Amino acid sequence: MTIGKKVQELRQKKQLTLRQLSKLSGCSLGFLSQVERDLVSPTVSSLKKIADALEVSIMHFFDQPTRHQKVVVRKDERNKLVNPKSKVTYELLRPQFSDTELEALYMYLEPGAYSGKEQHSHNGEEFVIVLKGELEITVGDEVFHLKEGDSAIYKSNLPHSWKNPTNSTTEVIWVNHPPTF
C-alpha cells in the first residue's frame, strides 16, 4: 500500500476530515488531498507532521517486517530511506522497529539539502555531529555553522531547521529522542 493510501486509511479510521487533518498537521488541505491520491510525495518533514497529527510514528507509513529484538545493525544491513526531492538519504543506525527511546541516523545531505522552508518543532531533544562537510543549523533566531567534527545539541521544542550550504555532500550522525522514524 502506498504512503498516500496509508495516510488516507488512518485518517478515515480516526474519523478525521481532510480539513481537520490539515488543521492538526499544519499542512494545506490541497497538499493532503494530493498526498492521499499519490499525486505528490511528502517530504520527511511533512510526513512527520502528518504522523504527529495522526498520533503514529512516521514508520507507520512504511512497510514493516515482523518486530524482533535486535542489538547490532551491520553497515550493510542498515535500513535506508531515500527522498530524492529533499536530497537526503537516511540510514537507520538502530534496529528499525526497536523499542529504544533513542534514534540514531546516518544522514547524507546532498548540496543544497535542507529540512524544509520553515523551521519546525516537536517534543524531544536532538544531537548532531558533522562527520564530513559542513552544516548550518538554525535554532530559534540563532544560526550555527558546523564544520567537520563539530556537534550540537538542543531541545527540539525550539523552532529549528538545518541545511547543507556547500557544494559537496555533508555526512552527519543525528540522534533524536524520542525516535522520529
Each domain of the chain, given as residue ranges in start order, spans 3-61, 75-177
Q: Which range is least confidently modeled, 31-45, 72-86, 133-147, 159-173?
A: 72-86
In this prediction, residue 128 carries a pLDDT of: 98
List CB contacts of 146: < 8 A, sequence separation 6 or more. 128, 130, 134, 135, 136, 137, 152
CA 129 to chain centre: 17
Say which CATH topology domain 75-177 has.
Jelly Rolls (2.60.120)
* pLDDT for residue 150 is more than 60: yes
In this prediction, residue 57 carries a pLDDT of: 80
Percent of the chain with pLDDT over 70: 92
User: Which CATH number among 3.40.50.12780, 3.90.190.20, 1.10.260.40, 1.10.3720.10 corresponds to the domain 3-61?
Assistant: 1.10.260.40
Q: Do the domains at 3-61 and 75-177 have one common CATH topology?
A: no
Query: How distant, in Å, are the alpha carbons of 18, 86, 93, 102 from that of 25?
Result: 10, 19, 28, 24
In this structure, which amino acid lies at residue 5? K
How would residue 181 be classed by pLDDT, with cut points 50, 70 and 90? low
Q: 129, exposed or middle or buried, with CB in 10 Å at 0-12, 13-18, 19+?
A: middle
- Give the predicted TM-score (pTM) of the model: 0.64
Helix (H) or strand (E) holding 6: helix 3-13
In this structure, which amino acid lies at residue 154? Y
Average of pLDDT values for 132-147? Answer: 97
Percent of the chain with pLDDT over 90: 55
List CB contacts of 135: < 8 A, sequence separation 6 or more. 109, 128, 145, 146, 162, 163, 164, 170, 172
Category of 150 on φ-ψ map: left (φ > 0), alpha (ψ -120 to 50) or beta? beta
39 is written with which cell numbers? 499525486
List CB contacts of 51: < 8 A, sequence separation 6 or more. 57, 58, 60, 61
